[in-house]
């Protein structure tokens, strides 16, 4: 079984793309999918605006692969190539998540994709009906501010009922207090 995963956000929502240098690869090559190096696992990230200046691109078990679109700065695609990072060109103005998942399935032969992300990506996948199983993990704290996107504030949340398996509950009583050495 092959797996791929995505997680979190690497830049602020309003971050601008760095000034990438002019590409040295011919356009006809630059705008074609650039296959990743082989690895048992992939760390796939959508970055259609070319905003992440990668310092970690993988190890012997996992390799970075980026989802880009035709609006992605060409200098960023050159940077990915220079780093040995693969990418899929999926979409015109934005990364097309449906096309991206189809390409991941076909090219990377991934039969399961695990999305470990924030509210923006989660909500987008839910809106598109691309979620089969939703596993909600709650923590005793929230990360981010009042404007941080959350999955449950997704537009048309109510119309998504029945599209995927979901179990989620919030206890009606206050949370249990646990002390060292006791079970909750």
- pLDDT (tens, 9 = 90+) of the chain, 184 residues, equals 454 444 445 666 677 888 998 999 999 999 999 987 888 888 899 999 999 999 999 998 999 999 999 999 999 999 999 999 999 999 999 999 999 999 999 998 888 888 877 778 888 888 898 888 887 766 655 566 666 655 555 555 445 555 555 444 444 444 444 334 434 3
Domain ranges of the chain: 3-167
DSSP class of residue 74 equals H
Helix (H, G, I), strand (E, B) or coil at 68: strand
CA–CA distance, 104 with 108 (Å, rounded to integer): 5
Reported pTM: 0.72
- Total Cβ atoms within 10 A of residue 58: 19
Phi then psi dihedrals of residue 95, to 5 deg: -65, 125
């Amino acid at each position: 079984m092959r797996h791929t995963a995505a997680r979190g956000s690497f830049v602020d929502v309003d971050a601008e793309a760095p000034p990438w240098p002019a590409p040295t690869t011919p356009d006809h090559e630059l705008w074609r999918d650039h296959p990743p190096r082989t690895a048992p696992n992939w760390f796939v990230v959508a970055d259609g605006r070319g905003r992440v200046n990668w310092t970690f691109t993988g190890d012997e078990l996992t390799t970075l692969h980026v989802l880009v679109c035709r609006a992605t700065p060409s200098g960023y695609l050159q940077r990915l190539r220079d780093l040995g990072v693969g990418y899929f060109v999926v979409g015109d103005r934005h990364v097309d998540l449906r096309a991206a998942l189809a390409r991941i399935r076909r090219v990377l032969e991934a039969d399961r994709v695990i999305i470990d992300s924030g509210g923006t990506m989660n909500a987008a996948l839910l809106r598109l009906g691309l979620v089969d199983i939703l596993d909600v993990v709650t923590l005793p704290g929230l990360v981010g501010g009042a404007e941080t996107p959350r999955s449950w504030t997704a537009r048309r949340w109510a119309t998504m009922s029945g599209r995927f398996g979901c179990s989620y509950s919030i206890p009606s009583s206050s949370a249990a207090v646990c002390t060292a050495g006791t079970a909750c």
